[in-house]
Amino acid sequence: MDRTSFTAGPGEIGPVFLSEEQIQQRVAQLGAEISRDYAGKDLVVIGVLRGVLFFMADLLRAISIPAAFDVLAIARYGPTEQTQGVVRLTKDLNEPLRGRHALLVEDIIDTGLTTHFIMRTLRLHEPASLKACVLLDRNRRRIINVDLAYVGFEIPDYYLVGYGLDFREQYRNLPYVAKFEPD
């Protein structure tokens, strides 16, 4: 596939911020690290819909040990910053977590409020361990501290699209991450 042939609205997608190669190289490194750290353990990878799907699918394939996965879905009440993370689960886990090693995976963390809420919720399932892995850490927007065991890239405060990140539900399926510059 010609990766440069993605058709966007005129002037919307800005310069490439992370190329497909950069992303896949880092995902392979994270997968190798996670495979080492969880060798011999009953690993369950958990993603929060929807943006994480792309990263999670690639990360799972970069993990070379047996791993189960599951997904959660959430709804937010208004903009996260204003509601201080008032979040409700709209889809809970199917996989049991008790006594297993849970790894929460996110595509991007901004304020940290979503991850904080999800980690608190997952702890109620009494996993043997619980860690978080994020591809993009936009930590300048952090409101609440979250402990991130694996970070793909620390990024500045840019509006980005692609590889799961959207603008009004578009551009998630770009295989790279680009700056978004609306007209």
- Active-site amino acid positions: 110
Site residues (CB under 6 A) for ligand PRP, limited to 36-55: 48, 50-52
166 binds ligand PRP (CB under 6 A): yes
Query: Does an H or E element contain 54, and which?
Result: helix 53-62
108 binds ligand PRP (CB under 6 A): yes
- The amino acid at residue 155 is I
Q: How far is the CB of 89 from ligand PRP (least distance, A)?
A: 12
Q: Helix or strand or coil: residue 76?
A: strand
Q: Which is nearer to ligand PRP, 80 or 100 (CB)?
A: 80
Concatenating the DSSP letter of every residue in 108-143 gives EESSSHHHHHHHHHHHTT--SEEEEEEEEE-GGG-S
Q: Which is nearer to ligand PRP, 48 or 59 (CB)?
A: 48
What are 96's two structure tokens?
A: 């049991």
What are 85's two structure tokens?
A: 């993370």
Sole window of 34-42, 54-62, 110-118, 152-160 interacting with ligand PRP (rule: CB under 6 A)? 110-118
Binding site for ligand PRP (CB under 6 A): 48, 50-52, 80, 106-115, 166
